[in-house]
Amino acid sequence: MKIASSLNVTLAFLFVSTLCFGQQANVNLDYNPQEDTEGLIPFSAPINSPEVHDDQTITFRVKAPDAQKVELNPGAINTALGKGREPIHFTKGEDGVWTLTIGPLPPDMYAYHLRVDGVQMADPSNTQAAFTAMPPYSELIVHGDGPAYYDAKNVPHGNVTRHVYHSDVTKGERELYVYTPPGYDPEKKYPVLYLLGGSGELPSNWVYDGRVNFIMDNLLAENKAKPMIIAIPNNQVIHRNHPQHSELTFDIFEKELRNHVIPVVDENYSTIQNPEGRAISGLSMGGRHSMFIGFRSLDLFANFGILSAGDTDAETSLSHFLNDSEVNNKIDYLFVGQGTKEAEGFFNTRVQGLVGALNKHDIEHEYYVGGNGGHDWSTWRHLLYYRFLPNLWQNN
């Protein structure tokens, strides 16, 4: 298979603890980029926002003298604060600057939007932004006393490579990101984790929001995980708002995996090419892809990570898998996980549908609830670091 182009994105910068650039200077991969250490406004920004204080409180600022209302849109921050789904209101000053101070918040990364006179937008002063298959948003990075498990540390770093290939399935050019561990040796064979995003996510989001490459670097440096290749394909294969998305997405993406994604990885990297050497995992919609495609593709995968996903009618939708008398001999590791706040809300119903069915049919699995987050990246980073990645390939 021909690779149209390949761009090496080497995320091998070192954290320099003696320098305090902070405040969105973007010089180093700082763990505290929004701490006011230099008294400077981010380049090209009208004002400093957000400002993270050492007590983990946060001040947002919006310079909008003509606005009538400015709000913090409900999302991951509301979940962490226990404030439900109502927006949080800013206060306007005489200088036309709207301000809001909240917290304290647990150290973590939080995606957020502002709402100005009813218009949802990214924070115009925040240089920490993310783009997906949805409108862009801003990142709030609340620091602790040092780098977190998902931050760049002074440890050996792997590489992330972007591949662009032609797909006969979707009739166009598509992208795929591949992480190789530090010291990758093409003379050795490596297991491969195929890691999938949720609705509206792009492959790059597992790198920039999920920090999977830094999480893996840190786990390897701590001797808590086995070296592996992580392939992050684009599992958006049909418009998310297509009226038949649920009926079509699984068949289309399975073809994409079999015809293109796995061949691209196997042809370009030194991989273990059997089910025991492959895992499939994903969050939310990607968890459902991992479940519905993975469970019917035991010729490809023997390891599974179902993150924040499940099915309320698992007995019907997964009947072939659940009633396979040899299934426990065909799978090496099956993980189902969700966030603490998810387990308290409506997302829990579909997860329990899956867990209940697995228990009923005596299918070996690990079920875990943890972290401080809801249906957001705080949960998915936590699940990877604290459970899924350390336990993957331990039977090999």
**In whole angstroms, how far apart are CA 208 and each of 77, 128, 371?**
18, 10, 19
Q: Which residues of 328-352 are buried (b: 16+ CB within 10 A; e: fewer)?
A: eeebbbbbbbbbebbeeeebbebbb
**Residue 19 pLDDT greater than 60, yes or no:** no
Q: H-helix or E-strand containing 99?
A: strand 97-102
pTM reported for the whole predicted model: 0.92
- Render the burial of 109-142: b for 16+ CB within 10 Å, e for the rest: bbbbbbbbeeeeebbbbbbbebebeeeebbbbbb
pLDDT at 20: 55
pLDDT in tens, 30-68: 999 999 888 889 888 999 999 999 999 999 999 999 999
Distance of CA 360 to the CA centre of its chain: 30
Once rounded to an integer, what is the mean pLDDT over residues 86-107?
A: 96
Using one digit for the tens of pLDDT, what is the confidence trace for 353-381? 999 999 999 999 999 999 989 999 999 99
* pLDDT over 70 at 17, yes or no: no
Pick from 131-135, 217-221, 331-335: least confident: 131-135
